[in-house]
């Protein structure tokens, strides 16, 4: 049975990709500390397309994601959920690049939290 090319990457997919990359030789001069975070997420594009994703890392200023299929840079909404809460953030997706297994890494900076309606 073939796998849906737009399905959410699994935690195993993410681990396999990250292990295949290894540690970078160079150091990045980043102003915000990044924390590894692997939770299910959705990218909602400006056209309303929903792309299932997994988070890779998060900081006070931005987020890194892994997903199947390319997503164009621009303003998107990122939806994440924990056991008890849902989070929606506006994000300026700044880059998207292919990685192993037909997947893509992307990243961007937070523009703000989406106002929740009751």
In whole angstroms, give the CA distance from residue 111 to residue 18: 27
Asked whether residue 94 is domain-assigned, the answer is yes
In whole angstroms, give the CA distance from residue 78 to residue 52: 10
pLDDT of 2 reads 45
Q: How many domains does the chain have?
A: 1
Asked whether residue 26 is domain-assigned, the answer is no
- Residues facing 93 on adjacent strands: 74, 108
Note down the domain range covering 107: 11-20+33-113
What is the average pLDDT score of the chain?
80
Asked whether residue 2 is domain-assigned, the answer is no
pLDDT 10s per residue in the chain (118 long)?
345 555 666 667 666 666 655 544 445 455 666 567 778 899 999 999 999 999 989 888 999 999 988 999 999 999 987 777 888 999 999 999 998 888 999 999 999 887 654 4
Asked whether residue 54 is domain-assigned, the answer is yes
pLDDT of 20 reads 59
User: What is the model's pTM?
Assistant: 0.71
């Amino acid at each position: 049975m073939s796998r849906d090319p737009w399905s959410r990457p699994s935690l195993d997919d993410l681990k396999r990709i990250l292990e295949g990359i290894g540690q970078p030789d160079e150091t990045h001069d980043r102003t915000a500390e990044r924390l590894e975070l692997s939770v299910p997420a959705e990218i909602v594009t400006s056209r309303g397309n929903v792309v299932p994703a997994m988070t890779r890392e998060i900081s006070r200023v931005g987020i890194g994601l892994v997903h199947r299929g390319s997503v164009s840079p621009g303003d998107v909404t990122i939806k994440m959920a924990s056991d008890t809460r849902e989070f929606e953030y506006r994000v300026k997706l700044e880059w998207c690049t292919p990685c192993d297994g037909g997947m893509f890494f992307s990243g961007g900076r937070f523009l703000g939290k989406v106002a929740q309606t009751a």
